[in-house]
Each structure stands twice: as structure tokens, then as C-alpha cells.
Amino acid sequence: MTLRFPEGFLWGAATSAYQIEGGADEGGRGPSIWDTFSHTPGRVIGGDTGDVATDHYHRYRADVGLMESIGLNAYRFSVSWPRVIPDGDGAVNQRGLDFYRRLVDALGEADIEPLVTLYHWDLPQALQDRGGWMRRQTAFDFARYAEVVFGALHDRVTLWSTLNEPYVAAHLGHYAGWHAPGTTDVQAMMSAQHHLLLGHGAAVAAMRAIDPARRQGIVLNLEIPVATGDSPAVLDGTRRVEGLLDRSFTDPVLAGRYPSDVIADLAPARFPVEPGDLEVISTPLDWFGVNYYRQWFITEAGMGDLPLSEFPGCGHVSATTAGQETTDMGWPITPQGLIDVLTWLVDRYPGHPPFMITENGCAFDDPVAEDGTIDDRRRIDYLRRHLAGLHQVIEDGIDVRGYFAWSLLDNFEWASGYSKRFGLIQVDYDTQARTLRNSARWYAGVIAANGIDAPPLR
Ligand code: FCB
């Protein structure tokens, strides 16, 4: 049975600048916090860095050719702030803008719609030296950078996203310390979160002032945690995780407020809100991006296999993957969670804009067979099951306009370095040779049919 998607559905793949570009010292690019972090011993598995990555900076034309061969009609990538404004708030580096202009032109020739993300975590190090996202001015520096990139590309790019996963930048970067800049402080986390969101709103306003006809959005990573029991500890922990991960981002962006329970839980630390900020942050959007990978099942501390130490105030709970298949990241495979997250958004925010799934995918490392093929049937199964869930949500009347697989090709997976492979396309890091996995061929068939062969999820 073929499950068909709506006419004009966007079928894409996603990447981000630091994860694929390399060319770290080329074309006038300045250092970012991820250069500093990855070059700090002990921060990234294997001491890996994004210095070379997949060398996309030099191979972008061939990579667009690979996208064409899969039949993608959309491609989501991010712009490196330090490639465009090397010190963050000073002179514009025209060579940086030219690179993205050439990329967008190549996509245009291939009839692939670009979706530009302005911030996928690579803050210019010079701004970090002055406080980074903990400093309010960074929000306005971001708006100016957005204006510069938008000015150069808005004639050719319709779809814009300000931030990718501000949760990860603020919480994993400033509380857990697993990501750049590696800070571990609740107040730093809350300041970074608020200034990221303020930067989002300020950037949308700046871009709309130049050209209101483009479509502005944001990308959040959302996963609705499930309580595995009804003990007070489990219910409280589930509420806290949902508050920190989901509501403290969706409420300000879609409803113009921070959730009162999160504010109370985190006191005396606070979101440094000034008058008018929440109006800026909640400026209406043209679309809303959801990155979805997995879902948490919350249990008492000590009962689960995942400690949840990245969530402040959640020492009394853990997450369990018992009975679930997991990927190479150790993440459970939970396609129902994609349905849960979209249903949760629609129920909670009636005035929501149309959705796009801006990332979904899994890490699996399957060997190259003698005939050169890569039989990654677990990835195909993952994608198929999530697409079946997405199809069901669309049938139920939720407005979803596109789907972007993470990732086009294997790349620098942040603190996991090159040890985790998310690509539809395999990269041999010694030679930079690209090989389409079977999942890429399968995805090409999905795009050609505008649908999947699969039983519905329920
Ligand atoms: C998301 C990130 C993306 C990639 C995937 C696996 O959180 O946006 O860059 O690392 O996870």
C-alpha cells in the first residue's frame, strides 16, 4: 500500500556548516566556539575537529550533484556566522557571502529549494570572548548578521530559519557543558536561552523590514516525555523535562510567555527578560520547524539506563530504553513520538503556523559490501516508520509541508566527532569519497512516488 503525501510536499535533506564545510582557515573565515571547543583536549571523542569535515567547502558542486541524483527538491543548510562576519560584529567578509551565493546558485540550477538556517551553533569566538549568548548584545549582533546574509541571498532564498535547536545551544552548551562553549551554570543557561530567543525575534524583524515576502521560521528540537508510572517523582520529573525541553521554548515563541512552573523550578536563577522582549520573541512566524529523533520514557532515578543529568533539578528521575530498539547513539526508536509532538503542538498552540520536519534520522554504521553497496536496512526501516507516522498526522489534518532527512551525508557529529554516521551518503574520511547508501536509493524512490510503501502506523 502506498501512502501518498500532499502535492508540492518538500522532500529534503539537512546539514550544517561546521559539520560539513571544513575550510576552517580559508576564505577569510574567523574562528567559532566550535573550533575552540573541538581543539580543547577531552571535549570531542577521538580529538576530532571540523577543520576538514567532509570538505564540502570545496566539494559543494559535486554534493549538489548527489542531491540531484537522489531527486531532492529541497536542501536545508546553515550559514557559518564567522565565515560571513569573522569577528561577529565587525566587517563583512564578502568571500564568505560569495560561497553561499555560489551554493544557492548551484541549487537553483538543480531545481532544489534552499532552506537557510542562520545559526547552527557556530558563534564567532570573538563574541564568546565578550560573553557570547550570556550577553544581551549578542542578540542584536545576530540580528545584524541575519540582515547581512538575508540582504545577499533573499532574492534567491524563500525559506529562512533563524536558529537551530536553541535548547541544545543554551542547555547542552551552558548547563550540561557537553557542547561549546562548555559552560556549566544554570544562570548562564537561562541567559543564553533568553538571548538566543531574543536574537531570533530581532532577526525576523530585521529580515522582514528588508523583504516581507520571504518565509520566516525557527527550528526547535522537541520530544514529549512519557511518564512510565504515576509516582509523584515520575510525574514531577516528566513535567520538568517537558518544561525545560519543550514548553520553555514553544511558550515564548508561540505564546509570548515563559512557563511559570519552569520559572519557579529554576529560581533564584532567572530569564533576564526586559520590557517588550516577549513581544519580539513571539512575532508571528510563517512556518515552524521540528527536529525529531527520539522520545524519553521517564522512570525513577536508578531504574533507567539514561541519567538525564542534562536537566537541572531532575536528579530524582532517569529515562529508560528497556524493550526498545536503539540506534548507534543509544537513542530509542520511537516513531509514535513524532505523532505525539505534532499533536501536542496543535493542541497547545491553536494559532500555530504550518510545520516542517526539519530533521529526522538515525546513526547506523553498516559495512560496504564487496559489490560496493551499503545495506543500511535499519536506516530505511527508521525512516519508513517515521514517515508512516508523519503521513498519519497529515491525514489527521495537521498542516505539515516538508520533511528533511538528517543527514545528507556523514559528518562531524559534535561531541561524538566522526564516530557516529547519520548520512544517507557514506563518507570515507581518508579519501572524502562519497557512496550512496541503500537508504539514499530508497529515499529517491519515496521522492519519485511522493509516498512510501508501508502499512500505516496504527
Ligand atoms: C541535532 C542537530 C544536528 C545533528 C543531529 C543528530 O540535534 O541539530 O546538527 O547533530 O542532532
CATH number of the domain where residue 324 is located: 3.20.20.80
Please report whether residue 162 resides in a domain.
yes
User: With bands split at pLDDT 50, 70 and 90, how would you rate the model's confidence at 457?
Assistant: low
Q: Note the pLDDT tens digit of each residue in 98-108.
A: 999 999 999 99
Please report whether residue 33 resides in a domain.
yes
Q: Give the dihedral sign, CA 448/454/457/458.
A: positive
Q: Check residue 126 and give its pLDDT.
A: 99
- Please work out whether the CB of residue 422 comes within 6 Å of at least one atom of ligand 1: yes
Of 242, 310, 359, 413, the catalytic one is 359
Q: Note the pLDDT tens digit of each residue in 170-207.
A: 999 999 999 999 999 999 999 999 999 999 999 999 99
Place of cell 520590557: 275
Residues near 44 by Cβ (< 8 Å), separated by ≥ 6?
37, 38, 414, 415, 416, 417
Please report whether residue 456 resides in a domain.
no
Q: Round the CA-based radius of gyration of the chain to a whole number and report it.
A: 21
Residue 458: pLDDT over 70: no
Compute the distance from residue 309 Cα to the ligand 1 centre, in Å.
19
Q: Give the dihedral sign, CA 428/432/433/438.
A: positive
Please report whether residue 458 resides in a domain.
no
Structural domains of the chain, count = 1
Compute the distance from residue 320 Cα to the ligand 1 centre, in Å.
21
Please report whether residue 454 resides in a domain.
no
- Please work out whether the CB of residue 414 comes within 6 Å of at least one atom of ligand 1: yes
Dist CA 445 CA 433 (whole Å): 23
Q: Check residue 454 and give its pLDDT.
A: 75
Q: Are strands 226-227 and 159-164 parallel, antiparallel or unpaired?
A: unpaired
For ligand 1, atom 9, name the residue with the nearest CA.
16
* pLDDT above 70: percentage of residues in the chain: 99
For ligand 1, atom 10, name the residue with the nearest CA.
413
Compute the distance from residue 273 Cα to the ligand 1 centre, in Å.
28
Side-chain half-sphere exposure of 285, counting CA atoms within 13 A: 30
- For the CA of 422, the closest atom of ligand 1 is 6
Q: Note the pLDDT tens digit of each residue in 349-397.
A: 999 999 999 999 999 999 999 999 999 999 999 999 999 999 999 999 9
Compute the distance from residue 293 Cα to the ligand 1 centre, in Å.
9
- For the CA of 361, the closest atom of ligand 1 is 6
Q: Which residues of 153-171 are buried (b: 16+ CB within 10 A; e: fewer)?
A: bbeebebbbbbbbbbbbbb
Q: Check residue 456 and give its pLDDT.
A: 59
Full domain range(s) for residue 192: 2-449
Please report whether residue 455 resides in a domain.
no
What is the rounded average pLDDT of the residues 411-428?
98
- Please work out whether the CB of residue 359 comes within 6 Å of at least one atom of ligand 1: yes
Of 165, 242, 310, 413, the catalytic one is 165
Residue 63: pLDDT over 60: yes
How much is the mean pLDDT over the chain?
98
Compute the distance from residue 408 Cα to the ligand 1 centre, in Å.
12
* 165 is annotated as an active-site residue: yes
pTM: 0.98
Q: Check residue 149 and give its pLDDT.
A: 99
Q: Note the pLDDT tens digit of each residue in 25-34.
A: 999 999 999 9
Q: Check residue 36 and give its pLDDT.
A: 99
Please report whether residue 457 resides in a domain.
no
Residues near 348 by Cβ (< 8 Å), separated by ≥ 6?
250, 254
- Please work out whether the CB of residue 168 comes within 6 Å of at least one atom of ligand 1: yes
What is the rounded average pLDDT of the residues 331-343?
98
Q: How far is CA 276 from CA 158, 249, 267, 282, in A?
A: 28, 17, 22, 10
Dist CA 138 CA 191 (whole Å): 11
Q: Check residue 1 and give its pLDDT.
A: 72
Neighbours of 286 (CB within 10 A): 17
Ligand 1 pocket test, pick from 362, 413, 424 with the greatest ligand atom count within 8 Å of Cβ, gives 413
Please report whether residue 429 resides in a domain.
yes
Following CA atoms 304, 243, 180, 295 in sequence, which dihedral angle do they give, to the nearest 10 degrees? 40
